[in-house]
Structure 1
Amino acid sequence: MPSIKKILHFMSSAWVTAISVGILGYGMSTDWSKTTMECARRGSDFFNGTAELTLELFSGNLERTFCPSFGGSVVFPVIPKLVETGVTPVVLHALALCLLVLCLVFSAASILISLYNSVSNPYETYMGPVGIYACSSLCACLSVVVLILFVVNVNVTNLAEELVNEFATTEVDLKNKSSEMQLGYYLVIPYTVLSLVAIVLIYMYDHAAYTQRREQQRPTEDAPKEIMMY
């Protein structure tokens, strides 16, 4: 039976990881970015229209005002519509989505390993602290990659311009693109931090346990000379 200290550390790690999964799950269901642009009919210098594109991971919303006509609002599935626009935006978006799914999978594995260690004493294998280090580290690293991929896709590629032109009745010119990340994007950050906290909790226990083992296995040269003579 594990010690009380071990149970507390591993249960705390599982609890922290579960919270991070809840945060990421909610983040994946809400807005990730909002992009606004000035709009004009192709060939016109009079930019009197605007287009506002709000993206979630699975759906998007486009609000057009005089772009190029009276415009309107349309809700659309993101990935199928990105497939029609070009290769780079859909690849980056799909890659970010796949990495988020992997984050959830590795978080679930970290929770299971933590719970297993809280009720048993496995050897130092992938079912022990090593497994939690690996899973939680992958969660943190992959989530950081997602942050980079998404912001590059929104700000560097022509994702927003292509989507606006997909819904415009005629070709339009767009300028002064301005993008800002929304709640869903920023919720990945606390997920990353909590994944690292889970690692720290296990490391604190692992380091204390290692120190205790070293103290119990001191070499004979630390013993008094009188004892060594016998």
Structure 2
Amino acid sequence: MPSSKKILHFTASALLTSVAVGLLGFGMSAQWAISNSSCGGTILVNGTAKIELALFEGKLERVDCPLFGSTDYFSVVPTLIDIGGASSALHILVVFLLVLSLLFSAGNILISLYNSVANPYETYMGPIGVYTCCSVSVCLAALALILFVVNISVTGMADSLVEKFSSSEVTLKDLSSEMQVGFFMIIPNIALNLGAIGSIYMYDHAAYTHRREQQKPTEDAPKEIMMY
């Protein structure tokens, strides 16, 4: 049976990671970005286009863009695949990285709960497993955030979506994007995973210090005594 100290630290790790998983799940279902742009057509008509983008669903509102206005709802992944280009590949990669991050966080919950009721050896089922799962989860989530920003800002994904739903040629300008709650939910997810690592590190460091203190009497004993 694990000590109360070990139960406390590993249970804290499991709880922190559980909240992180909840935030990540909520973030993946929430809105990630809003993009606004001015547009015109082949004649001097000025309008606006607004895209509300989540990972899986999107909404496009056009006002006189280029000639008429409409509201279109679309599935993000199939629409981007239909458009083609780098934006579709990056968006799919973002979703894939977040799903992997979710799986590694779930793995840490299982390892932490197992350690709270058992005493596994120092293998992947011990603190090493927690460090690995949480670290990989953090790196994947952080990379997903970076790639999403690149996709919104560099690849012209918003322009491609507006052009796809426009009935005639459209010229876009003054594009601005603002990240939304789904994007920002990944940040506390990362922080909580780091907190889970910190909880296990404190226990691991204390356990190592305790083992070293137990070995000191033997190390400091005179050689004559150690021979018997």
Which residue is equivalent to 2:157? 159
Contact 2:98–2:140 (CA under 8 A) maintained in structure 1: yes
Change in CA separation of 1:7 and 1:172 when aligned onto 2, cut-off 3 Å: same
Change in CA separation of 1:206 and 1:229 when aligned onto 2, cut-off 3 Å: closer
Structure 2 residue 8 is matched with structure 1 residue 16 = no
Which segments of structure 1 move beyond 3 Å, counting only runs of 4 or more?
224-230
- Relative to the length of structure 2, the TM-score reads 0.96
Change in CA separation of 1:114 and 1:221 when aligned onto 2, cut-off 3 Å: closer
Measure, in 2, the Cα distance between the counterparts of 1:59 and 1:228.
72
Q: Secondary structure at the match of 2:65?
A: coil
Measure, in 2, the Cα distance between the counterparts of 1:213 and 1:199.
21
Deviation at 1:197, TM superposition (A): 0.5
Measure, in 2, the Cα distance between the counterparts of 1:89 and 1:141.
21
Change in CA separation of 1:229 and 1:154 when aligned onto 2, cut-off 3 Å: closer
Deviation at 1:87, TM superposition (A): 2.1
Deviation at 1:72, TM superposition (A): 1.3
Contact 2:62–2:69 (CA under 8 A) maintained in structure 1: yes
Q: Secondary structure at the match of 1:33?
A: strand
Measure, in 2, the Cα distance between the counterparts of 1:89 and 1:219.
64
Q: Which amino acid aligns with 2:19?
A: I
> Within 5 A, what are the aligned runs for 1:124-203?
124-203=122-201
Q: Secondary structure at the match of 2:216?
A: coil
Q: Which amino acid aligns with 1:32?
A: W
Measure, in 1, the Cα distance between the counterparts of 2:152 and 2:11.
39
Contact 2:39–2:170 (CA under 8 A) maintained in structure 1: yes
Work out the number of aligned pairs and report it.
228
Deviation at 1:211, TM superposition (A): 0.5
Which residue is equivalent to 1:51? 49
Deviation at 1:70, TM superposition (A): 2.5
Q: Secondary structure at the match of 1:217?
A: helix
Which residue is equivalent to 2:34? 34
Q: Which amino acid aligns with 2:8?
A: L
Deviation at 1:68, TM superposition (A): 1.3
Q: Secondary structure at the match of 1:35?
A: strand
Deviation at 1:69, TM superposition (A): 2.1
Measure, in 1, the Cα distance between the counterparts of 2:227 and 2:140.
58
Q: 2:63 aligns with which of 55, 62, 65?
A: 65
Write out per-residue CA displacement over residues 64-116 of structure 1, whole angstroms, 9 at most, x where no aligned residue.
Answer: 00001221111100011101222200100000000000011001100000000
Measure, in 2, the Cα distance between the counterparts of 1:104 and 1:140.
10
Cα-Cα RMSD = 1.5
Which residue is equivalent to 2:205? 207
Deviation at 1:136, TM superposition (A): 0.2
Deviation at 1:212, TM superposition (A): 0.2
Deviation at 1:228, TM superposition (A): 6.0
Structure 1: 5+ residue runs without aligned partners? none
Measure, in 2, the Cα distance between the counterparts of 1:163 and 1:203.
46
Write out per-residue CA displacement over residues 159-178 of structure 1, whole angstroms, 9 at most, x where no aligned residue.
Answer: 11111011001010000000
Q: Secondary structure at the match of 2:155?
A: coil
Deviation at 1:47, TM superposition (A): 5.3
> Within 5 A, what are the aligned runs for 1:77-96?
77-96=75-94
Contact 1:38–1:47 (CA under 8 A) maintained in structure 2: no
Tell me the percent identity: 58
Deviation at 1:219, TM superposition (A): 6.1
Q: Which amino acid aligns with 2:26?
A: Y
Contact 2:45–2:64 (CA under 8 A) maintained in structure 1: no
Structure 2: 5+ residue runs without aligned partners? none
